[in-house]
Amino acid sequence: MNKQSITKNYRTLSFYILSFFLSINTITHAQMSHQELLDAISRKITSLQTQLNDIKSISTNKITSRVDNNELINGIQESIHNLGEKVEKITPDESNTNANEQRLLDHLSNMEGSLNKLVQIKLEEQSEKEILEQEIESFQIPEESQHNVSLGFGTNIVSRYVWRGGDFGDSPSIQPYIGVTYAGFELGTWASFPLSSSASGYNEHDLYLSYTLESELGSFGLLLTDFYYPNSGVDFSNWDGGGTGAHTLELSASYSGPFNFLAAYNVHNDPDKSFYMELGYSMNLADVPVDIFLGGTRGRSTWYGISTDKIEITNIGLKGSREIVFTNNFSLTLSASYIMNPYARKTFLVFGISI
């Protein structure tokens, strides 16, 4: 409905109200046999009052009307109230007929029809605007998803570096990281440096590029990692494959939601094309975040130390963590992990501090 249609209905309604006043002024005395007509007129007035209340309730909700009706509605409401008072003052008179009362009843019926049309117009107008508001909201970008560049950095200190069930260096390690994120992408670097000089061969310095998609179902991620070991004796610029180069590239896909999933595959510089898969579940126990995980490999893999062609479980465990907040800008996260490698017949208890 457009604005002209609404205005036309208002004018029609105003005409019926004026006609009603002209008719009511011609009433003198109604005969007792016309009581039913008077009762019908009273019922019509009550019905009109209810319809006006409906229009008011629609007009005062969160949807803003294209036409401001409050002043007109209040005027109509006052007129109907005055009509009701005049009808109550009518006294019986056998010398009069029911023509005037019947004419009034017809006018009230027409007014009721016009108000019904106005109610329908308002409901349609409300529905259209609600749909429009929903469409606008669906296209709004959540504040946390705005395309802002952010920088994150920190370090972890662990009592031992254990990764996917494998022990790297049998030594405490410092593991710094730094990354830049933008529009779901992150480019960063991560390293691990054993504190024991005898484990210096396990120095690691990785580069990574990731993309994370947040949805109502959970977080979906893709990650490309370049594994590099500075003390391996291979020059950094050597990108050869077949296990002779300095860089091993891994492509992985992950999901975090009601459960966690990871699938990783070495795509460069690994003759075994090593594959790893892991399932996990996160929960709270006594207000402590706990992660449970189960991971394994398929086929022979020097990368994971597997010498069989079967599927082998290499990583079972759980990890608990607790954050200690000192200020708004500084906190520490303490963690403890119990890890078991059934294939290697080894277990580990690892303590960590994240800054």
Helix axes 35-59, 99-139, angle to 10 degrees: 20
Whole-number Å distance between alpha carbons of 85 and 271: 98
pLDDT tens-digit readout, 276-333: 999 999 999 999 999 999 999 999 999 999 999 999 999 999 999 999 999 988 999 9
CATH architecture classification, 144-354:
Beta Barrel (2.40)
Residue 242's Cβ-count burial label (10 Å; 0-12, 13-18, 19+) is exposed
CB atoms near residue 55 (< 10 Å): 22
In sequence order, the β-bridge partners of residue 304 are none
DSSP line for 270-319: -TT--EEEEEEEEEEETTEEEEEEEEEEES-BTTTTB-SSSEEEEEEEEE
Compute the C-alpha angle 193/199/201, nearest 5°. 80
Residue 20 has pLDDT above 60, yes or no: no
Return the residue matching tokens 């017809």: 106
- Give me the mean pLDDT over the 187-206 stretch: 95
CA-wise closest residue to 105 among 27, 175, 28: 27
The amino acid at 120? Q
CA-wise closest residue to 186 among 151, 155, 143, 220: 151
Residues 6+ apart with CB under 8 A from 137: none
Q: How far is CA 171 from CA 192, 202, 228, 292, in A?
A: 11, 10, 19, 24
Whole-number Å distance between alpha carbons of 73 and 122: 13
The single-letter DSSP state of residue 122 is: H
Whole-number Å distance between alpha carbons of 50 and 77: 10
pTM higher than 0.75? no
Residue 205's Cβ-count burial label (10 Å; 0-12, 13-18, 19+) is middle
Whole-number Å distance between alpha carbons of 138 and 132: 10
Confidence of residue 140 (pLDDT cuts 50, 70, 90): low
Higher pLDDT, 103 or 4: 103
In sequence order, the β-bridge partners of residue 337 are 319, 350
Whole-number Å distance between alpha carbons of 51 and 68: 17
Query: How much of the chain exceeds pLDDT 70, in percent?
Result: 62
In sequence order, the β-bridge partners of residue 350 are 337
Whole-number Å distance between alpha carbons of 9 and 2: 11
Query: How much of the chain exceeds pLDDT 90, in percent?
Result: 56
CA-wise closest residue to 247 among 282, 204, 288, 209: 204
**Sign of the torsion formed by the C-alpha atoms of 302, 304, 306 and 309:** negative
CB atoms near residue 215 (< 10 Å): 8
- Give me the mean pLDDT over the 84-105 stretch: 57
In sequence order, the β-bridge partners of residue 220 are 213, 255
- Give me the mean pLDDT over the 167-186 stretch: 96
Tell me the backbone φ, ψ of residue 253, rounded to 5 degrees.
-125, 140
- Parse the chain into domains and list their residue ranges: 3-139, 144-354
Confidence of residue 94 (pLDDT cuts 50, 70, 90): very low
pLDDT at 93: 52
pLDDT tens-digit readout, 225-246: 999 999 999 999 999 999 999 9
Whole-number Å distance between alpha carbons of 172 and 196: 7
Mean pLDDT of all residues belonging to the chain:
81
Whole-number Å distance between alpha carbons of 94 and 35: 12
pLDDT at 131: 72
Residues 6+ apart with CB under 8 A from 310: 298, 299
pLDDT at 26: 45
Instruction: Provide the token pair at 95.
Output: 């010398």
